[in-house]
Amino acid sequence: MTELQRTRPFRAPRPARAVGVLLLLGVVLAGCSGQKSSFHFEWDLFINSILQPDDQIKAGLVLTVVVSIAAQLIGVVLGIFAALGKMSKVRPIRWFANVYVWIFRGTPLIVQLVFFYYGLGVAKIYLWPDITIGPLTIEGAIQAGIFALGLNEGAYMAEIVRAGILAIDPGQMEAARALGMTPGKAMRRIVLPQAARVIIPPLGNEFNNMLKTTSLLFVLGVVELYNVFNIKQGQSFRPFELFLACAVWFLLLTTIWGFIQSWIERRLARGTPGAAAGGPGVRARMLSFRRPPIDASVVSGGR
């Protein structure tokens, strides 16, 4: 628990209030902007981009959220496998998992993105054709983006999942095996469900990052939330208003996610008798620079 929380009990602000704060921030910035030059702030453009988003903005929003969720899901699955791989008794599996994590954490995401899309495409290894499912067509660039983001995320999730598994008392695995469970079943039924409680807070932070990181997909020509505004400012030459609005949208997404995350963590804490209630509140989470530490006490049974 941070100082902030202890000294000032936190009243959850309504999302509406958060929007108000953001708009105020815009006003202050806009006020500063006109002082020294002939620049004047186009209020309508800024306000309408937020309060009356056009179809492009809406589409960008949806794409950002969908890509984030898809990539995060891939990341979680890969992360679980990579974590188990890192802890495997079989040396080649361990080696493979370590190399995977090493490569994807050791190279820039933007390089991974362009490599998987343009690199593989030009080398004719995989051409990323559009996929049509019913009325929906998913562009190759979006697929490549989700794929690369997911692979990258899996490398980070591997460490988080591994830390979660290691936080569980080895006696749990032993008790499960003493009852005749195979190591795989003991992991699935006994260890991973307990590790999940440890993993979920840092997983939430990863998703917060993911929401913002999707903006890198603009290098593949994907028109997600950032790229929508990037294109708009290229046409209208109003980068100040438009990027400010873009920032407000991202801030809204991450703030809403912050509320959802706190809600999830409170529910998890409720399901764990004897556990300290909840993780950091939304304000502490959004304002703090550090990641909340993994809290093993949430998991260990009382004795």
Partner 1 sequence: MTQIEETNLLDAIGGVPLASTANVVEVTDLHKWFGRNEVLKGISMMVKQREVVVVCGPSGSGKTTFIRCVNHLEKIQQGRIVVNGHLIGYREENGKLVADKERNIARQRQEIGMVFQRFNLFPHKTALGNIIEAPIQVRGVPEDEAIEMGRKLLARVGLAHKEEDYPAQLSGGQQQRVAIARALAMRPAVMLFDEPTSALDPEMIGEVLEVMKELAREGMTMIVVSHEMGFAREVADRIVMMDEGLIIEEGTPEHFFTNPQQERTKSFLSKIL
Q: Given the rule CB under 8 A, which residues bind partner 1?
A: 169, 171-172, 174-183, 185, 189-190, 193-194, 197, 272-275, 299-303
Q: Based on CB atoms, which residue is closest to partner 1, 14 or 185? A: 185
Min separation Cβ 269 and partner 1, Å: 12
Closest by Cα among 135, 131, 152 to 143: 131
Closest by Cα among 265, 152, 167, 160 to 203: 160
Min separation Cβ 297 and partner 1, Å: 11
How far apart are the C-alpha atoms of 1 and 280, rounded to whole Å?
6
Q: Based on CB atoms, which residue is closest to partner 1, 64 or 194? A: 194
Q: Based on CB atoms, which residue is closest to partner 1, 192 or 210? A: 192
Residue position matching structure tokens 């509320």: 259
Min separation Cβ 20 and partner 1, Å: 41
Min separation Cβ 301 and partner 1, Å: 3
Q: Based on CB atoms, which residue is closest to partner 1, 60 or 278? A: 278
Q: How far is CA 18 from CA 192, 226, 257, in A?
A: 36, 21, 13
SS3 229: helix
Q: Based on CB atoms, which residue is closest to partner 1, 131 or 277? A: 277
Query: What residue type is assigned to position 23 of the chain?
Result: L
Which residues are 136's β-sheet partners?
Answer: 133
- Residue 287 CB-half CA count within 13 A: 10
Min separation Cβ 187 and partner 1, Å: 12
Q: How far is CA 96 from CA 35, 101, 108, 167, in A?
A: 58, 9, 20, 23
Q: Based on CB atoms, which residue is closest to partner 1, 141 or 299? A: 299
Min separation Cβ 101 and partner 1, Å: 26
